[in-house]
Chain A
Amino acid sequence: DTEVTQTPKHLVMGMTNKKSLKCEQHMGHRAMYWYKQKAKKPPELMFVYSYEKLSINESVPSRFSPECPNSSLLNLHLHALQPEDSALYLCASSQGRGENTEAFFGQGTRLTVV
């Protein structure tokens, strides 16, 4: 199984809403990632978890709150988002860090903030 599963596929939320994005992998990978991708741009790294601990936060606003409940799951909690946060949010996982540890990506959640 080389799948990273993200739910929901699409999400529309108001600026006062609270919602969560979910990501799951069963490849035994110990690193998990959140990326944000705007139209016609490459993905931008947001967060990295390694062994269920937050390893990298790329100065992401606090209205995005990641959580890694266990080695297979990764959540992204959303609160008080702005319309400019509308984007494709991609989850990825890898065996670890360093060379030759390619990342496997999910299909993404298309988020629209209204």
Chain B
Amino acid sequence: AQSVTQLDSHVSVSEGTPVLLRCNYSSSYSPSLFWYVQHPNKGLQLLLKYTSAATLVKGINGFEAEFKKSETSFHLTKPSAHMSDAAEYFCVVRYTGGFKTIFGAGTRLFVKA
């Protein structure tokens, strides 16, 4: 069975410090993995996706994620947080050959000045 676990419901960092948002997945098959960001009362914006071409994926706004099959993880990182990064982040797994996606519960990122 496929599932996604975001290990932290809230993460708080200071501006200019690194960000780490953790995601573990469970999948019988090679998954498609995505990170989305959602600012308050907005839709979801794709940050990056794992395409199986490279394990280190670079996304928009300085975010990147590393696919580690041995750890079944797809953690999101950013070297230096900005105030505008404060938002909800969702890790998403997509079934191969299907339309259904599984969302993690989300991680709220707080950035302190």
**A residues at B contact (CB < 8 Å):** 4, 6, 31, 33, 40-43, 45, 48, 50, 55-56, 88, 90, 92, 94, 97-108, 110
Contacts and interface: CB of A to CB of B under 8 A. Distances in A.
Range for the number of chain B residues in contact with chain A: 20 to 34
Chain B contact residues, majority secondary structure: loop
A92 B95 CA distance: 16
Given A99-B52, A100-B32, A102-B34, A50 B43 contact: no
B105 interface: yes
A8 B95 CA distance: 31
Interface string B13-50: 00000000000000000101010100001111110010
A45 B100 contact: yes
A42 B38 CA distance: 10
Given A100-B32, A102-B34, A50 B45 contact: no
Contacts of A103: 46, 101
A36 to B, nearest CB: 12
B104 to A, nearest CB: 7
